[in-house]
Amino acid sequence: MLDIKIIKTTEPKAKPIPGQKLGFGKIFTDHMFVMNYTEGKGWHDPRIEPFHNISLSPAAMVYHYGQEMFEGLKAYRNPNGEVYLFRPDMNAKRTNATNDRLVIPQIPVEDFVQAVSAVVDVDRDWIPTDPGTSLYIRPFIIATDEFLGVAPSKTYLFMVILSPSGAYYESGLAPVGIWIEDEYVRAVRGGIGFAKTGGNYAASLIAQQKAHDAGFSQVLWLDGVDRKYIEEVGAMNIFFKIAGKVVTPALSGSILPGITRNSVIQLCKKWGYDVEERKISVDELLQAQKDGTLEECFGTGTAAVISPVGKLRYKDDVMTIKDGQTGELSLKLYDAITGIQTGKLPDEMGWRVKVGD
Ligand SMILES: *Cc1c(COP(=O)(O)O)cnc(C)c1O
């Protein structure tokens, strides 16, 4: 158990009002969680403080070699004022898997969940309640040693900041167009693809720009070795429904193990679908499309939960899926998961964690 010191702001900001357009990641709440790490001492001084700028030496290691990690999850407030997190223990475990790869010290799972819950509780009145809205939670760790040598830092900062965010879909699930990238790759096995760290995103920007310029909203990455097998989308994992079966790329080390991905697999199995985690080549997709067995395609991630894919481009081929409409399974999964998250549906899977009393 962390002994969290709470210093509340004396200058609270105006909270967003119902109906206000929030967008994503632009508005921040009144408080943040902070905890320091010092070699020999461990994690110390857990505290909640007014949201403020931080000051670091220009030589702080994070600026030079990118030793940092982040997480992303959401809090939901229902009409009764109850606040829920969705599977925060999974974010804590993934934090430690990322930290392990990047030689960042581990954080006990209970401490991570306690830190997130505590700061969300302090700013619970900031959680928007319009349909589809939520409080986006961004835990992250940065290396803070003042040193230009290449080595793991001996000091770190763990922080949690909060951002009220708008509905991902303004009016119902809207299928997106996806660009299968055939030039750049995101990650290779043995690299950092499974870790949630900024470097993966830095490496992705150029392809995202290319996709946007061509009128597609996201990039779908192929494996870094053969450039033949499907990996994942920008910040989402990817699923296909092929001839009645639910198919998704296996976690090979170069794919981010999404919590939404895991939840979708569990729900599909519970509903009686055959779920296959395996290699899927672009050729298999092109063939399934020709045969008429490529029934659905959707991305999964915390931001959109389920993002139906209406169009997939690979070189000169553009595959239209479900005539560009949202598939039944995509919709069923979206309703089931968001229903559990917001407290509208019973939590049969035990995924919801209540914040405060
Ligand atoms: C965070 C992330 C995902 C989705 O993970 P969720 O836990 O479902 O939000 C997928 N791919 C990448 C690259 C990510 O960073």
User: CA–CA separation, 58 vs 232, rounded Å?
Assistant: 35
| Nearest-atom index, ligand 1, CA of 234 | 13
Q: How far is the CA of 94 from the centre of ligand 1 (A)?
A: 11
| Nearest-atom index, ligand 1, CA of 236 | 10
Phi/psi class of residue 81: alpha, beta or left (left: φ > 0; alpha: ψ in -120 to 50)?
left
User: CA–CA separation, 344 vs 341, rounded Å?
Assistant: 8
User: CA–CA separation, 295 vs 292, rounded Å?
Assistant: 7
Ligand 1: which of 73, 101, 237, 251 to mutate, most ligand atoms within 8 Å of CB?
237
Q: How far is the CA of 256 from the centre of ligand 1 (A)?
A: 6
3-state SS, residue 311: strand
Closest residue by Cα to residue 307 from 213, 210, 177: 177
| Residue 170 in this model has a pLDDT that exceeds 80 | no
For residues 219 and 178, is the Cβ–Cβ distance under 8 A?
Answer: yes
Ligand 1: which of 24, 68, 256, 266 to mutate, most ligand atoms within 8 Å of CB?
256
| Residue 202 in this model has a pLDDT that exceeds 90 | yes
Mean pLDDT of 82-99: 98
Pairing of strands 275-278, 237-242: unpaired
**How confident is the model at residue 171, as a pLDDT?**
66
**How confident is the model at residue 357, as a pLDDT?**
81
Our answer on whether the CB atom of 301 is closer than 6 Å to any ligand 1 atom is: yes
User: CA–CA separation, 199 vs 102, rounded Å?
Assistant: 11
Mean pLDDT of 300-307: 95
| Average pLDDT taken over every residue of the chain | 96
pLDDT tens-place string over residues 240-291: 999 999 999 999 899 999 999 999 999 999 999 999 999 999 999 999 999 9
Q: How far is the CA of 301 from the centre of ligand 1 (A)?
A: 5
Q: How far is the CA of 264 from the centre of ligand 1 (A)?
A: 13
Q: What is the largest CA-CA distance in the chain?
A: 64
Sign of torsion over alpha carbons 46, 50, 56, 60: positive
Report field, pTM of the whole predicted structure over 0.95:
yes
Q: Taking the chain, what is the end-to-end CA distance rounded to the nearest angstrom?
A: 18
pLDDT tens-place string over residues 326-355: 999 999 999 999 999 999 999 999 999 999
Our answer on whether the CB atom of 258 is closer than 6 Å to any ligand 1 atom is: yes
Residue 309 backbone phi and psi in degrees, to 5: -110, 125
List the beta strands (DSSP E) in the chain. 5-6, 31-38, 42-50, 68-70, 73-77, 83-86, 134-143, 155-165, 176-180, 218-222, 230-233, 237-242, 245-249, 275-278, 294-301, 305-314, 317-320, 352-355
User: CA–CA separation, 30 vs 126, rounded Å?
Assistant: 9
Pairing of strands 31-38, 83-86: unpaired
Instruction: Determine how many CB atoms are found less than 10 A away from the CB of residue 309.
Output: 28
Contacts of 43 (CB under 8 A, 6+ apart): 35, 36, 37, 105, 107, 111, 158
| Nearest-atom index, ligand 1, CA of 232 | 11
User: CA–CA separation, 74 vs 337, rounded Å?
Assistant: 13
pLDDT tens-place string over residues 2-20: 999 999 999 999 999 999 9
Mean pLDDT of 46-51: 98
For residues 86 and 301, is the Cβ–Cβ distance under 8 A?
Answer: no
3-state SS, residue 335: helix
| Residue 296 in this model has a pLDDT that exceeds 70 | yes
Q: How far is the CA of 304 from the centre of ligand 1 (A)?
A: 11
Closest protein CA for atom 2 of ligand 1 = 235
Closest residue by Cα to residue 282 from 175, 180, 193, 184: 180
